[in-house]
Structure 1
């Protein structure tokens, strides 16, 4: 079997869907991302509650350098209806030999409950398989983040196992579910397994 070579992550595409545009970050996105990253729900659902906020200068530097990274893909999630930056989508932890990487996304308060997350997952996952030649994309989702888990399942991610007590939260512990989707699964459903 001839396998397609895996491209590196140096190309930073713009991916356009019906509801969102995923585009490369710029330094000018830092203030909006700082606001999103301080949202209590974002902090909770990403497991960052209680962590000190990143200084503005560090955020400016971070988002200004995303396009320079050759081993990961960080894209801004823009709501097409409003033109507003509402979150981010990231392919990272690239394992070139095994043609796999991790995925994470976050959507701030202005982008929730309208299907933007599901479309974001489909767009970046499709890019990972169809353009980068990945074989596997995986993620981890906390048990209290049912909205994200639904979005991942709608895009074809399958639960693989439970990371027990993966997050300390308030006076207890929260499990996380490891999920993944494979290239052959994506080829069969293109991110719409229930259709």
Structure 2
């Protein structure tokens, strides 16, 4: 298991690639999008263009997490990010999070990006468990996670106030033996004569 290798994951709707410092300007626009701000928890420190340059400029050097840029395969436009973090080596587990800016929504980009990186977590990194938490009112994201195979495990009630309203947090996870059956497509029956071990339609290269 090696988080220091930063792959390029290629699908039909998106290409995931390592971040560079040059991505900070576009990510500044994305993190300040009102919908992203509404469905994302408060950052641990104040975000500024300088902070983001330092952050995204060092993502490829992190040995214990994987941050990948979500891009448009047609023109390379940066659409958002997907992240595997909070790695626990002894448990072979980590936490997943994502955010997609306005130009990447409604196109199936978020669903495919999630399938690609979670597939890499199991098939490339050998993880046993990938978990996440999401605000209960973020129904679109929860539907994406369910489509990819995440299972609801519980709810943390009224974890914080958002815009003056107490909100719940949904806990979800997917396990390696579950992924081995559906490979991110739990609603699509798998053909018994399909021997392929990899994620269909996804190509992986490493940098």
Query: Structure 2 length as normaliser, TM-score?
Result: 0.88
Aligned counterparts of 2:120 and 2:22: Cα–Cα separation in 1: 25
5+ residue gaps, structure 2, are 189-207
Q: Tell whether 2:125 aligns with 1:132.
A: yes
Displacement after TM superposition at 1:57 (Å): 1.0
| Aligned 8 A contact 1:38 1:53 in 2 | no
Matches within 5 A, 1:154-193: 154-193=147-186
1:104-115 paired onto structure 2 within 5 Å: 104-115=97-108
Partner in structure 2 of residue 146 of structure 1: 139
C-alpha distance in 2, partners of 1:66/1:35? 18
Whole-Å separation in 2 of the counterparts to 1:31 and 1:120: 21
Q: How do 1:26-65 and structure 2 match up within 5 A?
A: 26-48=20-42, 54-65=47-58
**How many residue pairs align between the two structures?**
188
Distance across 1 between alignment mates of 2:121 and 2:144? 17
1:20 aligns with 2:14: yes
Aligned to 2:201: none
Partners of 2:128 and 2:166 lie apart in 1 by: 32
| Cα shift at 1:161 | 0.1
Contact 1:103 1:137 in 2 (8 A): yes
Structure 1 SS opposite 2:90: coil
Runs of 5+ unmatched residues, structure 1? 1-6
Greater relative contact order (Cα < 8 A, sep 6+): 2
Residues in 2 aligned to 1:119 and 1:48: alpha-carbon distance in whole angstroms: 26
Structure 1 residue aligned with 2:109, among 111, 116, 120? Answer: 116
Runs of 4+ in 1 over 6 A off after TM superposition: none
Per-residue Cα deviation, 1:103-137 (whole angstroms, up to 9, x for no partner): 00000011001100000110000000001000000
TM-score normalised per structure 1: 0.93
Q: Can you list the C-alpha shifts for 1:35-61, whole angstroms capped at 9, x where unaligned?
A: 101111001111239x98511111101
